[in-house]
Chains A and B, each alone.
Chain A
């Protein structure tokens, strides 16, 4: 009798387990399908909206307008806080409109990583992240009902994301990047959104004003993985996005589709001393730097910067240091 009970219990447990796994994978499939729809929407849908973004302790705001034309997608971002500045992105070109010199990072990608740079294929993301519908109660964002998806990393070497997609248009209305303790490191949230919007030609007043930035050629790297300074360890799923090389400077940017980091290698001068490794974290962005001496007495500074936990950047930096310089310590 007891045995029978046990068998019954096991069957029940097994059944529950089976239905749980199947519902989990159905959940996963649905989340993936929604993300594909989102990807379609961000690259084709016309919209205009006001969005708040930044680290939770400091909000910025901007107005984004996007229209699909024959020649492709045109997106205009007017930053509403900080210095007056705008950015128009069309095809392979970015036009920045502002006073004074261009400074790096002055026109950030607000919807990152769910904007136009979201990977077109999700299969590579699936290696490193799990996808799940966040909950069944709909949250309203910008007056629209949404469906929310959790994107959690398989390992804690990178951050998790939660996004809220507009049920009607599939546009990503809100997103949060969180560390493993659940602290929100960066977020954006639309305050208003219209989708029945068309951009008139006059909104592309770029003649004579502004300057262009060119896109780097994605995936075309000048630096072979065998070469010096190429990190021998990368977090799972990370690939080189772009690289540049000059006489005394190498830079490489790596991404797994959602998170990215850059490795900078600079010749600092004739070696006098190596410096301690220094790490810092500013909300979502961490950085770690170390000076090392090469065999021929050159001082070289390695800096790794990215939206990854400091520990991950540390490991990348370790793996980029040539073995001979380790022996010099």
Chain B
């Protein structure tokens, strides 16, 4: 069994495992510390072989929070498939904008990570049980690893930005509660914006107080409920 799991794990790291296999690995990862260690090692080896710089900061705390708190009803960050394609458009981005987009080496994400077939939350669960390679500092400008970016960019003030990434993780955990409620508030506002956009693209100017003032009278006049109902009911003309 152990050998078989090891094979699956290896396949997973190489991006060669299918969704069923991934789920099996996930179940195992949750309960087995040794297995988690192995997963991290496989990644380290893979990264070293690809000549990528490696850094072994434990991101699991922040990811745990993201899953437990999960204030957005979707996983924060760019969807994996989008993130993948955004790497392709980096060059284009740099050409189009005068902005100093941080150019970076495209990350070799395993196929399962960028495949839309596997839910992003499942990806998160894999990260949860593992020591993850952080994105090198220079990669922060791009949304490839949205989670990692979230971690490190939390304490944004400049003075701290240059600090060692391990201390960044520590200070992140102090702030984690606050950012969960902030994210929830941000989500609420975003929903409102989606609706406002609907009106604005229709041409309605929603940024005005007048309609709200008039609607406020609705509650006071009890008779109006029946009138509205009659009005709406009578609306469509009989064919």
Interface residues of chain A, those whose CB is within 8 Å of chain B, are: 48, 63, 65, 76, 78, 84-86, 94, 96-106, 108-109, 112, 117, 194, 199-200, 203, 205, 208-218, 232-233, 241-242, 244, 246, 251, 253, 255, 260-262, 264, 266, 271-282, 285, 287, 289, 291, 293, 301, 303, 305-307, 310-311, 314-315, 318-319, 321, 323, 326-329
Contacts and interface: CB of A to CB of B under 8 A. Distances in A.
B97 A318 contact: yes
B143 A314 contact: yes
Given A104-B195, A311-B85, A328 B156 contact: yes
B197 A233 contact: no
Nearest to B88: A311
A228 B101 CA distance: 18
Contacts of B193: 262, 264, 287, 303, 305
A214 B213 CA distance: 14
A10 B190 CA distance: 58
A72 to B, nearest CB: 15
12 contacts: A78-B232, A104-B199, A209-B231, A212-B214, A216-B203, A273-B175, A274-B154, A279-B79, A279-B143, A305-B193, A318-B101, A323-B99
B203 to A, nearest CB: 5
**Residue picked from B86, B153, B201, most chain A C-beta under 10 Å:** B201
A291 B175 CA distance: 16
B80 to A, nearest CB: 11
Given A208-B227, A216-B200, 9 more contacts: A273-B156, A274-B156, A275-B179, A275-B186, A278-B72, A303-B190, A314-B86, A328-B156, A329-B140
B3 interface: no
B46 interface: no
Interface in B220-237: 224-225, 227-229, 231-237
Interface in B80-117: 82, 85-86, 89, 93, 96-101
A293 B174 CA distance: 20
Contact of A315 (B78, B93, B189): B93
Contacts of A311: 82, 85-86, 89
Contacts of A277: 77-78, 143, 146, 149
Contacts of B34: none
A251 B204 contact: no
Contacts of B153: 274, 276, 329
Given A99-B225, A273-B154, A319 B237 contact: no
Given A211-B215, A278-B72, A281-B79, A262 B234 contact: no
B212 A276 contact: no
Nearest to A246: B207
Contacts of B200: 216, 241-242, 251, 253, 260, 262
